[in-house]
Amino acid sequence: MNARTRAGSSALMFAALSGKFNATSALLRAGADVSLQDQKGLTALMAAAARGHGRIVQLLLSRSASVLEQRDVFERTALLHAVEAGHAAVVDCLVAHGSPLPRARYAASRQAWEHRARFQTDAAAQGAFVCT
């Protein structure tokens, strides 16, 4: 279930990265380890957050809140991945679930995220993910 590629990626990481909610859910039910990290320190949560897959982020968090504090080799958490990619709803969800807020790095990334957000359309009006 937790077999990995040479780079350390697992099936759960691939499913989360690809936005495959049903596959992610099935892998979790079968016992996939949500805390596994690849050689770069990436987790399934980081992958889903970076791609803006909010439902998958929420699903992964329902299995383990401890993954919020995991960091990749560049010291980025799932929150920072979401901020840098401009996924406001995912950022809000991670913060609501208790994600630690990085200090200096978060401030610079937050500015970039706010800049991007000004040019995005209203995601809620388009039926986008809303964290519960």
Query: Each residue of 12-42: pLDDT tens digit?
Result: 999 999 999 999 999 999 999 999 999 999 9
Q: Look at 102 and 88; give whichever has higher pLDDT.
A: 88
**pLDDT value at 94 more than 80:** yes
Are 63 and 31 within 8 A, CB to CB?
no
pLDDT for 32 equals 93
Helix (H, G, I), strand (E, B) or coil at 10: strand
CA contacts within 13 A on the Cβ side of 128: 15
Confidence at 3, pLDDT banded by 50, 70, 90: confident
Confidence at 84, pLDDT banded by 50, 70, 90: confident
Query: What is the token pair recorded at 10?
Result: 């697992």
